[in-house]
Structure 1
Amino acid sequence: MDLRVVVVGAGLIGPRHAKSILSNPHTELVALIDPLPNAATTAQQLQTSYYPTVEAMLQAIPKPDAAIVCTPNHTHVPVSRELLASGVHVLVEKPVSDNIDNGVEMLRFLQRPENTHLKLLVGHHRRFNPYVLKTKEIVDSGSLGRIIAINGLWTLFKPDEYFAPPGDWRRAQSSGGVVPINLVHDIDILHYLFGPIVRVHAEKTLPQRPSPPHEAEEGAALTMRFASGVVGTFLVCDATPSPHNFETGTGENPLIPKCSSDADFYRIFGSDASLSVPDMTRWSYDGRSSKGWNQPLTAEKFDVEEATPFDLQLAHFVDVIQGEAELSCSGEDGLRALIVCQAVRKALDTGETVELDSNIF
């Protein structure tokens, strides 16, 4: 039986989710919800109904099976709570919340006996990116040996129009910034690959935009320790021309041109080999008479099958609702990524190294 799905939010991401719903044989797009007047035109282009609010939608049509929430970060919890309280399963875009307390309160709401049937999937869709899936396969196979360290990059240049109304919330410290908007994706991938981060230190990059109106951080250099003992460094910055970011390297976002080469964003170092992503090259001394720097390295490249992460994530959401799969990224997983991002911001503000507790409750 097809699932009736609504999309809440008609900005950059909402229409992409809507197209996934339209292309999935098991889902039907029944409404687009957004208070902005131009959203009605977007709904018309998607050939679906338009409503300005969730309440208006619930009063006008039969209750949908599921909703995808793509609203500004600070509205994720109230919008998701409204839908969940009405008995609608929710896929909420990352971050799951704009603060820890609200996120914890929503998870406690889901733990009530009368709500345990409800599903909340956090939209860290890069868990479904073929490059991430292949990386996890390689890491989990043990072919790199014991993982020692990770070096990561998310560096590019956001244009002025990205911050123009109605997207001016991205300039505010309370709701925007490169840490909760972009770094949170990579933190979730790092958790997915290597387990929880338990310590962070961060230094701010030099600001490039006028403040005001730009209050939020533009970048940071991080050092991290994982519970497993793996250590890492990460540079995030949205004010520099660079191909070293997930979107440019994988071509995942149709709005950001893919770079065909020299656009690596992760380097994973193990005791037996290292791996660069997304060129998927494994460097080792395999086949050599001995292991050491006086030997030439062997390069092995892995193929990656192309697929659309949003489509794979939606298919997973359908399976979860139908009881055929466990949540890939639960509310707890989403909140753990947010906790690390909050720790990064604390480290930026105080100059201190921040220790993290992996227990949410």
Structure 2
Amino acid sequence: MRRKALAFSLLAILLVSAISGCIGGGETKTVTVTKTVGSEESTTSPAETTQPTNSITNYPTETTTQIPTIDCSDETWREDFEKAISCALQPSQNHNFDPVFSLSLTGNKTQDALTITDFLVNYVPLDEFVENQSMKKGHYYNIKTPYELFQTRRGTYADMALFGAYALARDGFETYIFYVETKNGFGALPGFKVEVNHPWVPTEPFVIFWPFRIPLRLSAALEFLNIAGETVNNVTVYEIKYENGEYHVEKLGTAPGNEFKFKTSEFSLFGAPHEKTLARLIRQTYPNCKYTTNLSEFTGNQLIDQQLTFPYGALFYSVPFEQRYTEILYSIMIQDPNMNEALENCLTMSARIWNADDNYNAVYDFMISTP
């Protein structure tokens, strides 16, 4: 995303160096992609003591409107993102491309969201030339259909948003597209909800934000833009529904960026590593070390405290995707020389304390027993 400079992509460049594990670390995820075009374990852990005030139904400040019927027979819709939302999503424009079949989606909402994310991050590089030129023009152009992106494996943030929404809605998600206007440009993100049956878990939607391989809360993604100096001015929300073989679009409205407040409480309450995931990963590299949350299992003669900082980790954490978060945390863990040395001598290990600092860094205090 760039106007006179690449806003969304600039953010990625700034953060890749600081959070290398979030981009390429951890376990490599392979997406089963079926080119023939046919006609994670969900969590229920609590995550927040109060519901966020910025519920999706309260975001927009304008009246909900149905997008008017658009003539998609010519190609002018490719120069107007709002028109493209209506035209590019229609099955007739996509050769009846079925992303559920082609991406081998299973109906498990948490896992399917990760599969769609992994496809975009691992197989679809950003078309920086078209993205940059779009910012200079003041609008996206040469917008692709989801089928075209699937075939060409390259696209802008607009193209990725359309593909994400096309796949998510087809798979039965409550689906959105967020069109974001910042100080220096604009961009689009596909959004969805994964609800957990617990009153303390936020209902705020997630977005897929290339190149991050974990879905982010919407407010977290917008906070990343603010951190990068791309102050969010406005967010326009579109809801996408797939019914009876057709996609339907409603414009829910536009809200100012300052209405999207990120809260660290989800991380602060439940930001411990996912026990089974971290135990498995540690055993693979450090077979003598056991990760546990049961302090009675601790053995050895010495106990040491080892601190680890996950840059911007509070922005990445969420209950539904805590397993993917833990994989990223582990990739940061093994890149830290002090932590790596401690793990080499580890017998038993546990996360004792975690908190978020003023810069959204996730700070962990691990207790490690040694011989």
Flag whether TM exceeds 0.5 (same fold): no
The normalised TM-score by structure 1 is 0.22
So what's the TM-score if we normalise by structure 2?
Answer: 0.22
